[in-house]
Amino acid sequence: FAQARLVHRLDASTSGVLALALDAPSAAALSRQWRDRSVSKRYEAVVAGALPDGSGEVCLALSRCAVADRLGLTRMVPARDGLPCRTTYTVTRRHANGAGGWAGGSGSGRDDDDRGSAGFTTTVELTPHTGRLHQLRAHMAAIGHPILGDDIYSGPAATRLCLHAKSLAFVEPASGQTWRVDSHCDWGAAI
């Protein structure tokens, strides 16, 4: 497959689904879908703390951090004059670290417990509605729930970045059919 072409990219430490095209016309057609934001992308992440049940949205413009740039690092920060970004998330599971745990994304019925404490992590499904550099990582850190293993955005220690490209859905150029590709991730050894 020497003629294979990358259609998009993932951050270096992100695992999961990646699309390749086997010829130039397919690469152009797929790249157009990414540019037009017609590709459905879903990610799974394990974040610090306990997000409230259900789902939410993060709409924060992002810009490169000038201080990090001077140090030769790449880091995005919320900025009024940055590029508009939108991420939605859905809580899929919670973990009480080292305490036998509790799980489920559909509520315990308690609003008074301290789920934002360091003793909890939350698994979330993330959907980027824009495709900015480090968008998911910067957005989760900005709302106080950095992704585990993310040393750029102050995520708690893990054996790897707990961000996984879970699925892609796009129109396959030759057939015109919608293809969906899914990838499962077992976080067991990472957290």
Which residues are the active-site residues?
A: 11
Which residue has 């707990």 as its token pair?
162
Task: Please choose, from the candidates 31, 37, 22, 149, the residue with its C-alpha nearest in 3D space to the C-alpha of residue 85.
Answer: 37
DSSP 52: P
Is residue 165 classed exposed, middle or buried when 0-12, 13-18 and 19+ CB atoms within 10 A define those classes? buried
Q: What is the 3-state secondary structure (H, E, C) of 112-180?
A: CCCCCCCCEEEEEEEEECCCCCCHHHHHHHHCCCCECCCCCCCCCCCCCCCEEEEEEEEECCCCCCEEE
